[in-house]
Structure 1
Amino acid sequence: MNHRFLSIVGLAAAMAFTSGCNTNKAVVATKAPAPAARKAKAAPADAVPVWASKKYAFNPSRTKESDLLHTTLRVSFDWEKQYLHGLAEITAKPYFYPQRQLVLDAKGMDIHSVYLMQGYDGTPLEFDYDGQKLTIDLGKAYTREEQYTIEVDYTAKPNELPTGGSDAITADKGLYFINPLGKEPNKPQQIWTQGETEASSAWFPTIDAPNERMTQEIYVTVDPKYKTLSNGEFIYSRQNADGTKTDYWKQELPHAPYLAMLAIGDFAVVQDKWRDREVNYYVEPAYKNTAKKVFGNTPEMMEFFSQKLGVAYPWPKYAQVVVRDFVSGAMENTSASTFMEDLQLNERELLDKSWDGIIAHELFHQWFGDYVTTESWANLPLNEAFANYSEYLWAEHKYGADEAAYLQMDELSQYLDEAQEKREPLIRYYYKDREDMFDSHSYAKGGRVLHMLRQLVGDEAWWASLNLYLTRNKFSDVEVAELRMAFEDVTGRDLMWFFDQWFMQPGHPELKVEQTYANGQVKLYVRQMQDTTYAPLYRLPLNVAVWAGGKKQVHPVVVDKAEQLFTFDVAEQPQLVLLDPEQQLLGVVEQEKTEQELLFQFHNAEQLALKLEALEELQEQAARPQVLSMYQQALRDEYWMVRSKAINMLSQLKEGQAAPVEPKVKEMATQDEKGAVRADAILALAGWNGNKYKPVFEKAMRDSSYQASAAAILAYAGTGAADAPKKLARFEGETNEEIVLALATLYAVEAGPEKYGWFMKQMKAASGGELYYLLQSFGAYLAGNSETNTPEVISLLADLAQHHRLYYVRAAAYQALMVMSEKPEVQALL
């Protein structure tokens, strides 16, 4: 599963810009900079840090009393009541010890009957049901050699379940009806499921644990106008006498129950192929013509991963379906991944966005998560860390080292941000709630740890070990020891130390590095600064790179003590000394560098993070000739993020100081190949002298990139041009998120009641991250236009604050309501 579903738009910076602050981050998709020396929050010497690992109850894997073998489902739907009517045939047997009863997870259902089946004949069985567990008396004790089949007639009522979920998976109803009565304009009617973590049992009775596996058949009865999708192969569709149709899907290879799926809706099915397998993309008909441009790298990804792993994609087909109001970013259901609606893009949006990362992520899960599955949620990184790292692997293969390095910088930043508040082992049995496992530890830290493991053993051993892990454990459930043993069996090395410190211990290394040079020797003093009350003393095989006389020498070292001194013979004063020049370490390295060392680092170090660090660290000296020359070179860099970072740093210069770079930035505002960079350049020009560049902004409002166009809207409005309101009004029919948020930012502080209708229209149409940011602008608008604080607005915001599926949207709606807190009816709501 990929839970990175929050659209990243620099709206707060955009609002600051409209207030006169010099910024260049408005309405531009951006990621965090390299966290070169991020420090944890300080705590009193005798206090337990806020991030210290918490000791909750132990959470083992589910005990296997009965073994689920096969499930056949016959399902139909009541759209008005939002019920599923189901008949489940479950074949099982005792796992080892004899069993007289079968206990199934079945959440919030009406259980009508339970039968023991012998062919087509059924014998009624006694059962107890408490709304969560269905306990069936089998009538006799069965041994592990005896299979049996029971039939459960039931009705699933997902909307009547208590609300649950987490930050990553925002609801756990299992089964979702979208616009069931067709009353919401511009929204299709759909049904879809989401099983992770244990929500499949909200739509069919099962043993809802990741260490169970079953084959399955699903007969789905729906109106013929709908397409259906499920796991495995489509076998046939049958027309029924009552005007409905029944589609039959069959999954012949076993998988975990949380990976079972259904999707029903008016989908366009865009066909593709990998080797002899069907690869299909299910999208709304309006996006039929761009589906292949969004998902079209899928067959190449399947070939790349199959070749590298030495294990061909294992399932009979691969489908990807985009649904409305999905409760996460995406989900790796076996052979049929589900994605949030953000992946539906028009031609122009494709210029700014690529979803290859999330597509690769869910595809890699088909091996790591579906083919081989974690035995418990405590071992979730065995699913998610690999899927996370696949994004790096694909970017490295397809787009080059810089793009891959940029992803890894972002992963490190995500983890270190979370580490300010929590530090837990990657594999953690002592969690409060299984949903807590879906965090930046399991994803971002896990992916970076796998990268270090790859660097440690080398590429050949890395891929050979993954092949052994997959082939040895196929169609089974695993814990982290099995991954370690695969690597040990391939390499012949004992890797317990690596797995213990990175998978089983919390925290990360915090290194302080100091250096001296005298008498032909560099002395490098390395201290491990992390609090070893809460984190281990690490063993870190690293390299030290020393540049002297323009030549680079690399020295392998092992940092494994609290304080260590490393000495290297160097004929002359070195120009730069770097610990971990490959930037592969997950941790924080603090090393003081002079201006000259940072300049040398920019020009000579190969890693993207080191280039960006130099640009960031030298920002205050940007007007100095040597430093300015570095920035000018950065503006011509082949990689877009280096150009973007350079513009961002240069934008802080005063107008006169920026004169040497203004012509180049002006050229980039309209000619850079990357829309995000053009947007940065536009906003930098606006900060230096907006009126001077009004013609540039006017032209850029028609840019093919929505990002650049949105930046130009902000920049042109910032000039105070008399015709700005008229020019902005031309964009009010646009539905693109970047444009809508740019207008909302401006209207929030400049518009009167005449924009009430526009705001209400956008509020009703927006979703997800766009709605979150839009609510912030809407709140500012309401604060400045009290006459628009209508009952309609209060009702809309109250509904969002109480019922929206995303917690951050609920919070933003609550904040917007606070603007009207003097009203008694709002006080009651709050």
Structure 2
Amino acid sequence: MKTPFKIIFLLYLFPVMVCAQNIDTKHLSLRLQFDWQQRQAFGSAEITGSVMSENDKIILDAGKLFIQSIEINSKKLKFHYDGGDTDNNLEIILDRKYKPAENFTIKINYRTLYENRTDPNAIGGSLGKGLRFLQPTSTTPNKRRQIWSSGEPQNNKYWFPCNEDIADIHTTEIKATIEKPLMLISNGSLVDIIEHPDNNTRTFHYRSEVPFPNYLISVVIGEYIDVIQKNNHTAIHNYGYPDEKEAVKATVELIPDMMRFLEEKTGYDYPLKNYIQVVVQDYPFPGSVGQNAASILSDNYIDDHGVHKDFKYLWDGVAMQALANQWFGSLIMPASWEDIWLNNAFAQYFSGLYTAKSNGKEEYLTYYHPFEKANILSDWNTGNKHPIVSTNIGDLAAFISDSYSKFRGALILRMLQKEMGDESWWKAIRDYVKNNSGKQVSTKDFQSAVEKTSGRSYQWFFEQWIYKTGLPKFEVIKKYDTSQKQLFITVKQVQNQENKTDFHQVSFFEGKIDVEIDNTIESLYLKPQAENIFTFPAKTLPKLVNFNYEETFLCETIFEKSTDEYFYQLQHSKDVLARQKALDKLTEAANDSHATTLFKDQVIDAIFTEIQSGQYWRYRWYALGSLQKIMPLTYKEKTISFLTSLIKKEKSWIKSTAINMLGNTNAPEHKNLYIQALNDESDRVVNAAAIALGKTKSPDAFEILMDLENRHSWKNQNRISALNGLQQLGDPRAIDYVLTRLEDNRSPRWYLATPVWDYPFAAVNTLVALGKGESGYPVLINRFKRSLQDNDLNDIFQNVQLINLLKDERAKEIYLLLKEKYKDDPYVLEAVSNYEKQFIENIKK
């Protein structure tokens, strides 16, 4: 419903409020309706609270709201607000002076003005601020009608006036009236639904009874079905799309087990009455998950059994983080933003712990750990250096979203577990959770639990890893003394001592670090000094010395070894990361221009052995990737036989990679193997087989690939496979089919703007490969112009990306249209400029 209004702001004498917030909020009650045409919410916010000290004014946060009126006990109040979104910018003059012991309730009637638009530079999903409205468009007629909120860290003020201070916890109540069949999902418990048959609407009423921070308030509106699970007495509500019910069931099957795992490890039952997961469009991976009792996840989380089987390690980790945040975030709440790592690190830690439990420790080591460490090193090497806990936070959004609070924090928790030992660690965790439940905590509270249960001081550890910055870099040298029968390991700390930050930096690090020496694991204690020398009795020179076993200690390491040592490490180390390191080093050596054919063959044979071993699949897949880096495309018969054997006996990722490698030979004699693989249960395998079949240029390939369109697969992966195969085949008969698929904007798909997952992008790449890119331009320019009329940034810039891929000179016109439409919008113009630069580079190629 469109409601005309006149914006009148009462301006304060000064443009920026300088007063600090001074309210202790007890309860927030929202009464809302939604204007889909204007993409706005309107209604009222009732805030019950008290002043922090005797006062006749309170200060709140508002993000570009239109404040219509404010009242207390039906009496209008004066207020000062300039309509902006700076901190502490809404001053309200109360009807009298209040003392801290007195509660009052004010009612603010308002309308939102800020629109949480898609980030044109992140078409696969973005968070933004406040409420995002989504609904069908001419470009994307199947887009679902939805509203969802994004509140972290201080962005809820864009859809209701509030106190954004993380320390101001309170209960909530939300009543929202929406059109049927839409439903509202929010924090707490669903109290009731009131039907309004006269106008086909209904009012949803949610209420939370346990106080929690303002940034965790969330709301989602859309058309959903509820897949309900149980864990003891806790109801788990999984809200997915009505046409994806079976896929929702497949996706969430492990949620009750995750909940039991967290209850067992923390010693504390799930802390709220129920748990909700709800999926939405245009939400990023992994997103800002873990809102109070109602976690929002990307709808890309939902997959059928086949896809989820291939990718559950990816999305189950996100679901686990969201669930863990109900303990670490809602049950135990950080008292300030500087302690947000107590949420994020524990969520990431338990996510890794659960994947180790459900899939094996090597899944954590080969998948989670490299990802965590890569993020940490990326921040450090690009100059983003700060402590995990800092009282000097510049950009809050950047502080909570970089690698420190989450990935670095999780690795530090694992190091602390190593320092303490498992028994003391879990005593500390259970003590921390039990004694701080329902409380706001600081890092000191966590440290206190650690020290109380262990009976030891860990001040050095928290100073080193939490309150200071730094990243150790070790140079390791081993030496064997034949006369004394001793092994000497020298560890030099060679990290740069120059500190270019405003924070205290650790000079030298200390702590436990493990070393694998032949068949034993030795635990060393590194002293905080430039050089440590460790001595071990050894009857003979050890063949294996693996420093920093399983890379538990966060550091960079320089440890020179011979290729013979790496061969031995590959074959005998118990540490999967050490074996992967050996693969990397041997592959690098085999690719060296000075490497002999004999040496290359030795490396290849060693890798063959690893791939065929009974070790964990992801490690063997890693080894197959190493083989791919070495092998020339003119494979020997031995290699062809080896790959054929893998294709026949392996599954999913290893099988698809083996098909890719064999397919690179373009040899038509393998076509029957590829045709058989097109019936595999894994879409990864089907896609690899389609590409390989296309490369054979077989006369039979065209009809076989075209037939993939008629096979069922989740979100048209069959179509993507067909397009990829036809792209390799190069048969011009495919052009009409490809154009028809490009014209189709109604079939199920992922909206990820990548040819791997999104069939329009695969279609454009295929047209270009067939030399008919220009034939796709009329389809896309027409769609682009309609998207400009709809003014949906996600549609507009998906079309821009597709048109760029065509490399068509005519596309210059879209940039003229974009610059004219958004000439007064610097945010969008910056994106337009970036895409135009890409276009200019593309047409040069």
Q: For the superposition of Structure 1 and Structure 2, which TM-score range results when normalised by the shorter chain?
A: 0.7 to 0.9
Change (3 A) 1:166 1:722: closer
**In 2, Cα distance between the equivalents of 1:528 and 1:810?**
52
Correspondence 1:259-658 to 2 at 5 A: 259-327=216-284, 329-330=286-287, 331-354=289-312, 355-406=315-366, 407-425=368-386, 426-437=388-399, 438-519=401-482, 520-534=485-499, 535-545=505-515, 547=517, 551-552=519-520, 554-619=522-587, 620-621=589-590, 623-625=600-602, 628-629=605-606, 631-651=608-628, 652-654=630-632
Long gaps (5+) in structure 1: 1-61
> For each residue in 1:332-390, what CA deviation from the matched residue of structure 2 results, as whole angstroms up to 9, or x when unmatched?
11111111011121233233221211111100011112222233434332221111111
Q: Residue 14 of structure 2 corresponds to which residue in structure 1? A: none
SS in 2 for 1:209: coil
Alpha carbons of structure 1 residues 359 and 824: separation in structure 2 relative to 1, 3 Å: closer
Residue of structure 1 in register with 2:742 after alignment:
759
TM-score (norm 2): 0.83
Query: Which residue among 125, 129, 134 is the counterpart of 2:81?
Result: 129
> Are residues 481 and 164 of structure 1, via their aligned partners in 2, closer, same or farther at CA, if it must alter by over 3 Å?
farther
Change (3 A) 1:168 1:373: farther
- Structure 2 unaligned spans of 5+: 1-18, 500-504, 591-598, 819-835, 837-845
SS in 1 for 2:644: helix
CA contact (8 A) 2:227 2:249 kept: yes
Aligned partners of 1:174 and 1:199 also within 8 Å:
yes
Query: Which of 793, 799, 820 lines up with 2:809 in the alignment?
Result: 820
Single out whichever of 722-731 and 225-234 deviates more from structure 2: 722-731
Structure 1 position 450, deviation (Å)? 1.4
| Cα distance change, pair 261–141 in 1 and its aligned pair in 2 (3 A) | same
Contact 2:126 2:282 in 1 (8 A): no
Q: How many residues are paired up?
A: 761
1:31-180 to structure 2, matched below 5 A, reads: 65-95=22-52, 97-117=53-73, 122-131=74-83, 132=85, 133-159=89-115, 170-179=126-135
* Distance change in 2, residues 1:591/1:795 (3 Å): farther
Q: Which amino acid aligns with 2:135?
A: N
In the alignment, is the contact (CA less than 8 A) between 2:49 and 2:103 conserved in 1?
yes
Q: Which moved more, 1:507-516 or 1:770-779?
A: 770-779
Larger helix proportion of the pair:
2
The Cα of 1:432 is off from its aligned counterpart by 4.2
Distance in 2 (CA, whole Å) between partners of 1:150 and 1:581 is 59
For 1:229, which of 182, 185, 191 is the aligned residue? 185
Could you say which residue in structure 2 is the equivalent of 1:13? none
Q: Corresponding residue for 1:196?
A: 152
- CA shift at 1:570, angstroms? 1.1
Q: Is 1:528–1:537's contact at 8 Å kept on the other side of the alignment?
A: no
SS at match of 2:246: coil
Post-superposition Cα deviations, 1:747-772, rounded to whole Å, max 9, x if no partner, equal 66847653334234379975553447
Q: Is the 8 A contact 1:277 1:317 kept in 2?
A: yes
With a CA cutoff of 8 Å and minimum separation of 6, indicate the structure with the bigger relative contact order.
1
TM-score by length of structure 1 reads 0.84
Contact 1:198 1:258 in 2 (8 A): yes
* Farther off after superposition, 374-383 or 641-650: 374-383
Residues in 2 aligned to 1:679 and 1:517: alpha-carbon distance in whole angstroms: 45
**SS of aligned partner of 1:483:** helix
Which residue identity lines up with residue 417 of structure 2 in the other structure? Answer: R
Distance 1:571 1:553 in 2: 17
Q: Could you tell me how far apart the structure 2 residues matched to 1:337 and 1:182 are? A: 30
C-alpha distance in 1 between matches for 2:348 and 2:685: 30
2:641 to 650, 653, 663: 663
Q: CA deviation digits over 1:542-591, x for unaligned, max 9? A: 3453545xx42524231422233322221111111122223202221121
Aligned-partner SS, 1:352: helix
> C-alpha displacement at 1:465, in angstroms?
2.0
Structure 1 residues 604 and 78: CA distance shift in structure 2, 3 A: same
CA 1:788–1:803: 2 relative to 1, 3 Å: same
Out of 172-181 and 716-725, give the one that drifted further: 172-181
Q: Per-residue deviation at 1:208?
A: 1.7
Question: Are the equivalent residues in 2 in contact too, given 1:127–1:135 (CA < 8 A)?
Answer: yes
1:206 paired residue number: 162
Provide the rounded CA distance (Å) in 1 between the counterparts of 2:224 and 2:698: 46
- Identical positions, percent: 24
| 1:820–1:826 CA contact under 8 A, matched in 2 | no
- Judge which range, 265-274 or 470-479, deviates more: 470-479
Question: Shift of the alpha carbon at 1:424?
Answer: 1.8
